[in-house]
Amino acid sequence: MATSRIVVISESFHDLPEAVALLKASGHAVTYVEGLIPWSELAPADRRALQDADAVVMGRVLGIDAAAFALAPKLRVIALHTSGSDNVDVAEATRRGVLVTNVKGVNADQCAEFAIGLMLCTVRQILTGDHAIRAGVWTSRTMTSMDVCGSTVGVIGFGQIAKAFITRAKALGARILVHTRTQNPSLAREYGIEYCSLDELLRQSNIVGLFASLTSETRRMIGARELSLMKRSAYLINIARGELIDQAALIEALHKRQIAGAGLDVFEDEPLLQSPLFALDNVVLTPHQAGLTRGGKTGAALRAARNALQVLEGGVPKDALNPTACAAAKSQ
């Protein structure tokens, strides 16, 4: 097998020995770029490596569009070690004969347990209690909180992470409503859930969790109108994508106490270094860390690396989002 050039652009891959060893054993030339650097902003040496790259393995580097693809004319595959792919113009990749793969579901358990933790931290006012005791006021700020047991939890989206979350939330004694495009009665029976419309879910739920993929249809699916349907005592939890929520509308709703609070791991603009959210005491914020356990990161990196190597060997991984790109490549 001829030696190919692989460029890894990631904030974590280079610190995962198993994944590094896998690429090293492949015999291909590997260039590591530490950080989620847009292709157009790479250092000169890394730009030259990208120009010769047959494969790019990366995290959620934004803006992979036609202009970015022009910087990598030899590219055959982008192997994402993330579950989403909204940062890549997949249609443009297909036109250029570039396969795009992701690792959907690889860290479903890790993300689900984080969502449970974020929900409990937010609803049960755990951070408020921490801040109170450090300020010497003991329980005066945390005399009561909402019960999770017996509550109605609305789940938007019904993928692998949502299913793992539902299993855990039901163990806490919650009733589960689900809004999804495709309703499968057998799955409803298996998971003990009730399907309903988005509006009905928002009206009934004490806690609303976002687990949907980001598409043109779901972008800002939760806006001012949707927030107005929620109970004033309800909480919103999002570990999926920040762009699912109109962030300005959410900030206003939180500021006016239109809803009780929110727990957010993802944001419209990342990294979130300044935001009106920082001044609000009814929101818990974390830096897109739901899947970032050692096992989750290693599993995602290994799967992405295997996807890239399979393409370099002439195969089409099961994780390919655009398998028709192979036909496009042959016709060029």
Candidate list 96, 241, 303, 306, residue with the active-site label = 241
Candidate list 11, 92, 200, 270, residue with the active-site label = 270
User: Among 118, 85, 165, 106, which residue's Cα sits nearest to residue 289?
Assistant: 118
Please say if 288 is a catalytic residue: yes
Burial (CB count <10 Å: 0-12, 13-18, 19+), residue 54:
buried
Q: How many CB atoms lie within 10 A of CB 310?
A: 19
Cβ-proximal residues to 268 (8 Å cutoff; 6+ apart), any chain: 242, 243, 245, 247
**CA–CA dist 320, 329 (Å, integer):** 14
Tell me the backbone φ, ψ of residue 8, rounded to 5 degrees: -110, 120
Element (H, E) at 170: helix 160-171
User: Among 287, 256, 279, 243, which residue's Cα sits nearest to residue 114?
Assistant: 287
Answer whether 50's CB lies under 8 Å from 72's CB.
yes
Candidate list 124, 175, 203, 288, residue with the active-site label = 288
Answer whether 317's CB lies under 8 Å from 100's CB.
no
Question: In Å, what is the CA distance from 171 to each residue of 6, 117, 209, 267?
Answer: 44, 14, 16, 29
DSSP tag of 282: S
Kindly state the tokens that stand for 238. 């999002």
Burial (CB count <10 Å: 0-12, 13-18, 19+), residue 43:
exposed
Answer whether 242's CB lies under 8 Å from 212's CB.
no
Please say if 14 is a catalytic residue: no
**CA–CA dist 253, 256 (Å, integer):** 5
Rounded to the nearest 5 percent, the helix, strand and coil shares of the chain are: 40, 15, 45
Which residues are known catalytic residues? 241, 270, 288
